[in-house]
Amino acid sequence: MIPKVFREVIDLGDGREISIETGKLAKQAHGSVVVQSGKCMLLCTVVSNYKQADVDFLPLTVDYREKFAAAGRYPGGFFKREARPSDGEVLTMRLVDRVLRPLFPKDYHSETQVMIQLMSHDDDVMPDAMAGLAASAAIQLSDFPFECPISEARVGRVNGEFVINPTRAQLAESDIDMMIGASADSVMMVEGEMDEISEEEMTEAIKFAHEAIKVQCEAQVKLAEAFGKKEVREYEPEREDADLAKKIHDMAYDKVYAVARAASAKHERSAAFNEIKEEIKASFTEEEQEDFGGLISKYYSKAEKAAVRDLTLNEGLRLDGRKTDEIRPIWCEVDYLPSTHGSSIFTRGETQALATVTLGTSREANQIDMPSYEGEERFYLHYNFPPFSTGEARPIRGTSRREVGHGNLAQRALKGMVPEDCPYTVRVVSEILESNGSSSMATVCAGTMAMMDAGVQLKKPVSGIAMGLISDADSGKYAVLSDILGDEDHLGDMDFKVTGTADGITACQMDIKVKGLSYEILVNALKQAREGRLHILGKITETIETPNTDVKDHAPTMVSRRIPNEFIGALIGPGGKVIQEMQKETETTIVINEDPVTEEGIVEILGVGSKGIDAVMAKIDALLFKPTVGSVYEVKVIKMLDFGAVVEYTEAPGNEVLLHVSELAWERTENVSDVVNMGDVFDVKYFGIDSRTRKEKVSRKALLPKPEGYVARPPRDDKRSGGRDNNRGRDNRGRDNRRDDRKPREDK
């Protein structure tokens, strides 16, 4: 039986459409949709267990995978099967998770899985921009308790005009690349990179994307109604006790407020809060503690959050005693590590990042091999967050999604300031050594200084700051917090990270937890962030004002050289013999690429010190050397022959030419050694290609005076009688003149 298919179409306004379809695939999932734009198709399925898990959080897993078959390709590597997710896939998972998670009830703890798969790829459609739409649409068709439909959209700006879900080609020309996640009523998530735009321009881009998202949310509602909206499932809610909540609030609030107001350090403050919590728990009998379970801890956390928020809203003070717009003390240092190509330390309060820079050739570029995109990165940043940075001991099980996300944010913040003509592949690694608030922004600052220390000629230095927001809808009060602590991260209504130069924003990441945040508050928050960002930028430039003019003595110098396409093979040599010997002799690394436009060879020479690089450049010069007709060149004899000497141009070693015996001297020369010997250096004149021999001709005698009475030998007459072309009386019959009836020789 042919299944009944339900479909809604979203008009993007420029001839493009997005369709949402259900009823054909994956019907045993609790909700499934196929989202399509052009030839790009995403299948999203959602499943949630009916039994609550024995945890105090939502065990939500968002999984996004791109199938290589979707692009008609095989997976790379030895095993021809998709394996662990790529960084690009992980970043898409994070984007979707951050918007979905807050919309589930806080007491819903059933294991929930959202799986999004790229099943068909279109070069003109970027699939990650539709992943949030697919996830939300599938949930709308399920019976999950979920607050409202959401969607995500990418916004770019090409030639001053905003574009929703631009193509990759359009994105290459855009000065904005932002992903916005929102419901019909509220913006919830923003992440992206920009080309030094203003706070007002960023806000306008968010507004533009939100209008498109409203249309996508409406389409989900229509699809769910047509399909048949399911009743929301019943689940066992968390136990609540209003009397207990009030009792604990009354016991904890004033004490927590006093500790928060005391402006103590992180560990001291944590110990004081823990002491209050244990004191409250001790006031209950063992039977009461067992009966109330985790309610005591839950209600204490609520009381602590309320006290800290009230301190900030009422007195403008924060946990460490700072005012709302005050930045923690900063100290910086560069050139800390003696053997790296560049290094720096950035410490802000109790957050510390140690960054290193490594310079390499295009061979060290980061290769990206995804079904939706193939390419390479000549600048990339890796972020590591070891457990000791927060005073914890826990197992390390590979790179976490958080590390991928934070590293990507810092990379996007900095990459626009790396010059396009930077000859190096640049790798920045940030090691977080201490963490109490925004280690990703510390990474941006440390990365800036480390690259400047390494001699990377950044266009402008970049700094970053993490901001928070505490608001009270009833009173209308709100406070924007600059340079938030780790404790302030989770108790606020918004946390956002902004990076930029003195002239504008280069990247941002924003999570908004409060509904209906006004754009006025958002703009004010962004402007306060700019003031903090400039303050931090001042500390960076006090430490290192401009990039070092040269790389360090132990760091490699990179020189690039273009050569005509026809010389690439000669430089490589048979089986790579020439280039390998050259690298060994000069102690350099040589990489040859072909310009896809001009088809020229781009030779990258990487070496420590100038001696080896100069030697390679000399060999290339010799390879490319072309003598000019009529010019005089110094040569050296490198081989003696019976009919002349092989000479080498001294300004182009390895470039050889035959000096014929007849061009040695005006007098008749019986033996070449009578005139020149091995190693002799003298001048010759270049005559170009000889019309008779079709070979290059040089002459020594042309630079010598003619002897007195010299008589030139008459030229040979090739047409004289008895020449090679004469028949000389022979029978001129060729083999083809044999008689056709000649019998073949009989075998004996």
Instruction: Kindly state whether residues 527 and 645 are assigned to the same domain.
Output: no
Tens digits of per-residue pLDDT, 37-47? 999 999 999 99
DSSP state of 278: H
Phi–psi pair at 578, nearest 5 degrees: -65, -50
H or E segment and range at residue 615: helix 610-624
Distance CA 392, CA 305 (A): 23
Tens digits of per-residue pLDDT, 629-660? 989 989 999 999 988 999 988 888 778 889 99
What's the pLDDT score for residue 713? 66
Instruction: List the CATH number of the domain containing 272.
Output: 1.10.10
Instruction: Kindly state whether residues 39 and 153 are assigned to the same domain.
Output: yes
Distance CA 306, CA 286 (A): 27
- What percent of the chain shows pLDDT beyond 90? 60
Say if 440 falls within a structural domain.
Answer: yes
Distance CA 166, CA 179 (A): 11
Instruction: Kindly state whether residues 54 and 165 are assigned to the same domain.
Output: yes
- Sheet of 342-348: strand order equals 330-334, 342-348, 351-360, 425-434, 379-384
Residue 93 belongs to what domain range? 6-227
Report angle CA 268, 274, 277 to the nearest 5 degrees. 150
Last residue of one domain, picked from the residues 605, 624, 643: 624
Instruction: Kindly state whether residues 181 and 206 are assigned to the same domain.
Output: yes
Say if 233 falls within a structural domain.
Answer: no
Return the residue matching tokens 């010389």: 567
CA 198 from centre of chain: 23
Contacts of 65 (CB under 8 A, 6+ apart): 82, 85, 89, 115, 116, 117, 118
Number of CB atoms found within 10 A of residue 398's CB: 6
Return the residue matching tokens 């009944």: 4
Segments of 485-578 assigned E as strands: 494-501, 504-512, 557-563
Q: Report the relative pairing of strands 601-607 and 17-22 from DSSP bridges.
A: unpaired
Instruction: Kindly state whether residues 38 and 164 are assigned to the same domain.
Output: yes
Taking each helix axis from N to C terminus, what angle separates 128-140 and 87-100, rounded to the nearest 10 degrees? 40
Last residue of one domain, picked from the residues 582, 607, 624: 624
Say if 721 falls within a structural domain.
Answer: no
Say if 360 falls within a structural domain.
Answer: yes
Number of CB atoms found within 10 A of residue 355's CB: 32
- Provide the phi-psi class of 16: left if phi over 0, else alpha when psi is between -120 and 50, else beta: beta
Q: Is 117 within 8 Å of 138 (Cβ atoms)?
A: no
Instruction: Kindly state whether residues 532 and 671 are assigned to the same domain.
Output: no
SS3 81: coil
What's the pLDDT score for residue 717? 53
Segments of 184-290 assigned E as strands: 187-197
CA 392 from centre of chain: 30
CA 599 from centre of chain: 26
Segments of 172-236 assigned E as strands: 176-183, 187-197
Distance CA 448, CA 343 (A): 10
Say if 479 falls within a structural domain.
Answer: no
Which residue, among 266, 260, 380, has the nearest Cα to 310 in the 3D structure? 260
Last residue of one domain, picked from the residues 227, 260, 290: 227
Return the residue matching tokens 């739409």: 133
Q: Is 617 within 8 Å of 559 (Cβ atoms)?
A: yes
Instruction: Kindly state whether residues 209 and 259 are assigned to the same domain.
Output: no
Say if 694 falls within a structural domain.
Answer: yes
Tokens of 427: 């790798």
Tokens of 518: 């006004």
Instruction: List the CATH number of the domain containing 105.
Output: 3.30.230.70
SS3 string of 113-126? EEEEEEEECCCCCC
Contacts of 148 (CB under 8 A, 6+ apart): 103, 183, 184, 185, 217
Instruction: List the CATH number of the domain containing 648.
Output: 2.40.50.140
H or E segment and range at residue 439: helix 439-454
DSSP state of 732: -
Q: What residues pair up with 141 in beta bridges, in sequence order? A: none
H or E segment and range at residue 41: strand 40-52
Whole-number Cα distances in Å, 404 to 90, 381, 383: 7, 10, 7
Q: Is 305 within 8 Å of 316 (Cβ atoms)?
A: no
What's the pLDDT score for residue 727? 45
Say if 726 falls within a structural domain.
Answer: no
Distance CA 345, CA 442 (A): 9
Q: What is the CA radius of gyration of the chain?
A: 38
Instruction: Kindly state whether residues 273 and 370 are assigned to the same domain.
Output: no
Distance CA 315, CA 220 (A): 44
Instruction: Kindly state whether residues 426 and 305 are assigned to the same domain.
Output: no
89: burial class by Cβ within 10 Å (0-12, 13-18, 19+)?
buried
CA 491 from centre of chain: 32
- Say which amino acid occupies 738: R
Distance CA 75, CA 63 (A): 19
- Is residue 124 marked as binding? no
Instruction: Kindly state whether residues 13 and 137 are assigned to the same domain.
Output: yes
Whole-number Cα distances in Å, 264 to 2, 77, 268, 433: 68, 53, 6, 21
Contacts of 589 (CB under 8 A, 6+ apart): 361, 363, 556, 583, 604, 605, 606, 607
Tens digits of per-residue pLDDT, 2-35? 789 999 999 998 889 999 999 999 999 999 999 9
What's the pLDDT score for residue 59? 96
Contacts of 295 (CB under 8 A, 6+ apart): 239, 240, 241, 244, 245
- Count of domains for the chain: 5
CA 322 from centre of chain: 36
Instruction: Kindly state whether residues 155 and 283 are assigned to the same domain.
Output: no
What's the pLDDT score for residue 715? 55
Stretches where the chain sits below pLDDT 50 are: 718-748
Instruction: Kindly state whether residues 430 and 454 are assigned to the same domain.
Output: yes
Which residue, among 202, 179, 209, 155, has the nearest Cα to 91 in the 3D structure? 179
Sign of CA dihedral 375, 378, 379, 385: positive
**Cβ density class 29-59: b for 16+ within 10 Å, e for less:** bbbbbbbbbeebbbbbbbbbeeeeeeeeebe
Q: Report the relative pairing of strands 425-434 and 379-384 from DSSP bridges.
A: parallel
Phi–psi pair at 633, nearest 5 degrees: -130, 145
CA 302 from centre of chain: 40
Say if 676 falls within a structural domain.
Answer: yes
Distance CA 419, CA 458 (A): 6
- Is residue 453 marked as binding? no
Tokens of 403: 């590390």
**Cβ density class 573-612: b for 16+ within 10 Å, e for less:** eeeeebbeebbeebebbbbeeeeeeeebbbbbbbbbeeeb
Q: Report the relative pairing of strands 351-360 and 342-348 from DSSP bridges.
A: antiparallel
